[in-house]
């Protein structure tokens, strides 16, 4: 599933996000609003990882479960 599909199904994906990255709050998910760059940035902040690592995790996520 590409990111455009993720964004289009954002309401369905919210639960999957919080399962994969348990430090994300409801407020975080609401602020991200389906924007990949916002998700990457928030993962960097919460988990203390590099931008590249956050991007890798987002790219490797199985979005078909949403």
Q: What's the token pair of residue 30?
A: 């609401």
Going by C-alpha positions, the residue among 1, 66, 63, 10 that lies closest to residue 38 is: 10
H or E, element range at 35: none
The label of the residue with tokens 């430090």 reads: 23
Write out pLDDT tens, residues 25-49: 999 999 999 999 999 999 999 999 9
**Residue 13 confidence (pLDDT) above 70:** yes
**Predicted local confidence at residue 41, as pLDDT:** 98
Does domain 3-65 sit in CATH 3.40.50.10470? Answer: no
pTM of the model: 0.89
């Amino acid at each position: 599933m590409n990111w455009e599909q993720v964004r289009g199904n954002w309401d369905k994906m919210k639960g999957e996000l919080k399962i994969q990255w348990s430090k994300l709050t409801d407020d975080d998910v609401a602020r991200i609003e389906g924007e990949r760059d916002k998700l990457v940035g928030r993962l960097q902040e919460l988990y203390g990882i590099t931008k590249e690592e956050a991007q890798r995790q987002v790219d490797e996520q199985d979005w078909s479960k949403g």
